[in-house]
Amino acid sequence: MLEEKLFENREALLAALQEDCVAALQAGLDEREQASFLVSGGSSPAPLYQRLSQIALDWQNIHVALVDERWVEPGHAKSNQSFVEKNLLQHQAATAPFTAMKNSAGNADEGLAECEKSYQTLPSPFDLTILGMGPDGHTASLFPEAEGLDQALSTDALCAAINAHQSDVTGEYTERMTLSLAGLLNSRRLVLLITGDEKLQALRAAQAGDDVRTMPVRAVLQQTRVPITLYWAP
């Protein structure tokens, strides 16, 4: 199910991916007069979101929601919600309705039911989901051997609570809310956006094995339900 699009530079990648995203979102709008756009944090998608924010789409009918979130308050330096508000929900896209993951619950486990209820109201299946991947083989907040990983991979719910093992990749904020595997696969299109040789090597390692617990991105790569396109540049 993986189509690979490898580019010589990031500018070429961004131009192609911007066009792909606009087409996917417009198709959703054309079909049901609304669309859903699930987005990840991180440095790689920031310039993509900035470009998309300038495009004259019917943003008031494009529902933007997070793929995953650290259990930190909005406004925190590590908040994906704040990242998306800063990079995507600006300019033309300022009118897009946004669904957050972080709520007032004391921890992700306690906030899961409320988060799930919110995500069940999104236009479904999601028209486009943007994923990243870490050098440890995580995607969304599906981290290797994390507390809650087995549940996240097996549940029928869209969302799952995760507590990752702290590492250089996770940083200090290990408590997360994430789309479950079922939530990720509740998408018409998945885009895996990675840059740099280290992550491409990690992807090749993931493709070479089958242990999902040690490299959870394998669960997405091995599935046969949803098309996934790799966008990579050095």
Output phi, psi for 70, to 5 deg: -70, 150
How much of the chain exceeds pLDDT 70, in percent? 100
- Beta-bridge partners for 5: 231
Dist CA 81 CA 100 (whole Å): 7
Q: Which helix (H) or strand (E) holds 5?
A: strand 2-6
Tokens of 31: 């079909």
**Tell me, what DSSP letter sits at residue 61?**
G
> What's the pLDDT at 211?
98
d(CA 196, CA 201): 9
DSSP, residue by residue, 82-125? HHHHHHTSSGGGGGS-EE-S--SSSSHHHHHHHHHHHHTTS-SS
HSE-CB at 23 with a 13 A cutoff on CA atoms is: 7
Query: How far is Cα 16 from Cα 57, in angstroms, rounded to an integer?
Result: 17
Six-digit token pair at 223?
A: 């599935």
Sorted by where each starts, the structural domains of the chain and their CATH numbers stand as 2-233 (3.40.50.1360)
Instruction: Check residue 165 and give its pLDDT.
Output: 96
Q: Look at the alpha carbons of 166, 171, 172, 178 in this order and tell me if their dihedral is positive or negative.
A: negative
Helix ranges (H only) for 66-225 are 80-87, 108-119, 149-154, 181-184, 197-208, 217-222
What is residue 32's predicted lDDT score, i.e. its pLDDT? 97
Instruction: Please give the average pLDDT of every successive group of 10 residues along the chain, which has 234 residues.
Output: 96 98 98 98 96 98 98 97 98 98 98 98 98 98 98 98 97 98 98 98 98 98 98 98
- For the stretch 149-192, pLDDT in tens is 999 999 999 999 999 999 999 999 999 999 999 999 999 999 99
Q: For position 1, what pLDDT does the model report?
A: 85
pLDDT of residue 15: 98
Residue carrying structure tokens 């087995």: 150
Q: Classify 49 in phi/psi space as left (phi over 0), alpha (psi -120 to 50) or beta.
A: alpha
- In whole angstroms, what is the distance from residue 170 CA to residue 149 CA? 15
